[in-house]
Amino acid sequence: ICCKKAAFKFFVVRIFWHILFVSSFLLGPFAKAEVMFEGYYQIKLGSVHSGFVIQQYSFDNKKKLFSSTYYIKTNQLAGDITESLKATANDKFEPVSYQYTSKTGNTIKTIDASFKNNKMMAVVSDGKLGNKVEFDLPKGTFLSTFLAYMMLSRGISKGKVYNYKGLAEEDAKVYDGKALIQQQEDKYNLTAYKILNEFKGTKFISTMTDKAEVLDTKSPVQQIETVLVKTPAEATKGFQVNSKTLRLLFGRVPSGKINQLTKANSKGP
């Protein structure tokens, strides 16, 4: 993590590692859960490779809990962002907890949230001061990171519309969302669906397989695109990857091979 002042750099690193340690300690048991999906994505701004995402989904059959973990890193062109999330939900996609951290330039943000009796309790911090946030969730609210699996649970078919209330983990607020399955198509030798999404006032297009694995997302207005790739090297080329950070967050360095794209052995994007 790069900062202009050495003192600030030390402070940022200390906060970042503290949050990762707490997240790893709290959610460590889920490392034994079955990994349903694991993949590396390129982030493109325009047509320029500007960052990467590592995404993992797992399910603990004994505890009936879903887990979503991701790590994002971009260059200065895409905002100089470092971001991570560990989130859990029960098998009805009702929120259980999540820990979110981000550093954008010199700005730090952390959110530690838990849920009980349809109420969210969170501490939102800038690395210096923490503010408590509590509110009742609208009925049916789920963590937005689980959108694809929520859609799969309701059934996937051409023309189907999903109106939902999703909690945006990055700002601990609930928004109305809408997803429309526009068409079915073959992509990279996989059965896939083109989906028109609208969430937080932003429209974007995504392609998802019949197992809820997102192959790509595009925001035409923002000119941002994420594309699932077959190898970590394709996603992380030109970026320093801190293995220690990944081990703390994921329990190991993700291979990125637990997904349909890799198994299909296609040419990919």
| Residue 265 pLDDT | 62
pTM: 0.86
Q: Is the residue at 78 inside a domain?
A: yes
| Residue 182 pLDDT | 98
pLDDT, one tens digit for every residue, the chain (269 residues): 333 333 323 333 333 444 444 444 444 444 468 999 999 999 999 999 999 999 999 999 999 999 999 999 999 999 999 999 999 999 999 999 999 999 999 999 999 999 999 999 999 999 899 999 999 999 999 999 999 999 999 999 999 999 999 999 999 999 999 999 999 999 988 999 999 999 999 999 999 999 999 999 999 989 999 999 999 999 999 999 999 999 999 999 999 999 999 998 644 44
The strand pairing partners of 136, in sequence order, are: 119
The strand pairing partners of 90, in sequence order, are: 65
CB 226 within 8 A of CB 232: no
Counting the structural domains of the chain, the total is 1
Other Cβ atoms closer than 10 A to 4: 8
Q: Is the residue at 1 inside a domain?
A: no
Per-residue pLDDT tens over the stretch 181-239: 999 999 988 999 999 999 999 999 999 999 999 999 999 989 999 999 999 999 999 99
Q: Are strands 142-143 and 161-168 parallel, antiparallel or unpaired?
A: parallel
CA distance to 3, 35, 97, per residue, from 64 (Å): 41, 13, 14
DSSP state of 62: T
- Domain of 167 in residue numbering reads as 6-264
- H helices then E strands: how many in the chain? 5, 15
Write down the H helix ranges in 181-222. none
Residue type, position 19, single letter: I
Q: Is the residue at 269 inside a domain?
A: no
CA distance to 17, 49, 225, 239, per residue, from 75 (Å): 20, 9, 14, 8
Residues in the chain: 269
Q: Is 64 exposed, middle or buried (0-12, 13-18, 19+ CB in 10 A)?
A: exposed
Other Cβ atoms closer than 10 A to 115: 21
